[in-house]
Each structure stands twice: as C-alpha cells, then as structure tokens.
Structure 1
Amino acid sequence: MGRPPLPVGTFGKIGFLLLPSGEIQARARFRDFDGRTRLVSKTGVSRAAAERALKTELPARRGPGGAGVITASSRVSALVEAWLAHHGWSTGTERTYRSVIRTSVLPAFGQLTL
C-alpha cells in the first residue's frame, strides 16, 4: 500500500541529503495546485539553512494566478461554476448539467471546500 495523498498545497516529511559539494539538500514531497505530487528541494550550508530555504520555497509555490482562481479553500460551488463556464456544450447538454448540479450536487456539496 502506498502513501496517502497529501492535501493540495501541503508537504510531507522533510528529508536531508549530504551533497558531494558539502552542502545539505532538504527535500519534501509537495502536492502542487495541479494535483500532482512533486519532490521539491533546496540546499544550504547546514541542515537548518536548507530546511529554512525549503520552508520558504514551499508556501511560495502557487497555482495558476488571476482573478477567480480555484484553490483548496474554494467552495465546490465555485468549482462547479468555473467548470460550467469553460465547456462548450450544446444548449440541451448544458441545460441538463445545470439542472443536475442545481438539484443534486450543490445542495449536497456546494458549501464544502475543496
């Protein structure tokens, strides 16, 4: 069984490597805003310096910017609206999807955060 997935925008346990240059590399798995988990690393002259550099880098990682960005703290209702706005369905398909979303999805999940 693998590791449980990290929540979007969070990191796992920090590990350290001694590099041939004598520097220390701090690294951790980070769940990026596209949902993919990536190994992120930073180096420093000591463990503490490498860890500080990594902990400074991780919060600075951002998803795509701009107004109306969907983040981990967005509500399902905002995600639904963004999803509906970016598809080019026929009128009938869009009407059906909006009806199902309005009557089933939003009442049950609309106010939950991602």
Structure 2
Amino acid sequence: MTEVMGYATKTAAVLAMREQGKRISDIAKILGISENAASGLESCAKRARNRSAKKVSATGSTVADLIPLSARQRLRPHAARREISTDRLIANLVIAIADGNLVDAVLDDGVK
C-alpha cells in the first residue's frame, strides 16, 4: 500500500482533510481524484464507522455518540486553524480543562 500525503490511504487523507474543514472539491484537487471519488471514500468510511459505533454502543456510548454533530461542526474551524482534526481538538480541550482544574469554570453549573 502506498502512502498518500503521509496518510496510510486516500480514505484516511480525505477524512483528515475533512476534519480540517476542507471542502470535498478542494480535497479532490489535492489528491488528484474526482469529487465523486473523494465523496465516495468519505461516505464509505462513515458507513463503516457507523457500523463499528453501533457495535460499541451496545456496551456503552462512544465519544462520537455523546458530542452532537452541530458542536463538532462548530469546532471544525478552530481545529483547522491549528491544523489538527476535530477529534484531536476535543481531546486537547478535555486535557487542558482537566490539567487546569477548570471543569467548574467551564461548566458553570453551580456544582462544587
């Protein structure tokens, strides 16, 4: 298998660039494939991920289940500016909140 821009596969490259907020048309140009091919790779990966998540959710919720898509979409530009995935940004945020003992300040829900 040949690496694509540092990713193991074209699918991995498409998913990483989508997480960075890039448009399918831009990704297709970067990878030298059609927009339909790029979109197909993304769709196939999402279906596989959904099947996998359903298996995992039988035993408990996954982080993807717990974070609404709308929240993830609002985080995309912040992740893109840092050139990291949305999932990595979420992990970094949780780590920073825990390390800074900021849970009460962030949630501001009155629990002490």
Q: TM-score, normalised by structure 1?
A: 0.25
Give 1 or 2: higher strand fraction: 1
Which structure's CA Rg is the greater one?
A: 1
Q: TM-score, normalised by structure 2?
A: 0.25
Q: Which has the higher contact order (CA 8 A, sep 6+)?
A: 2
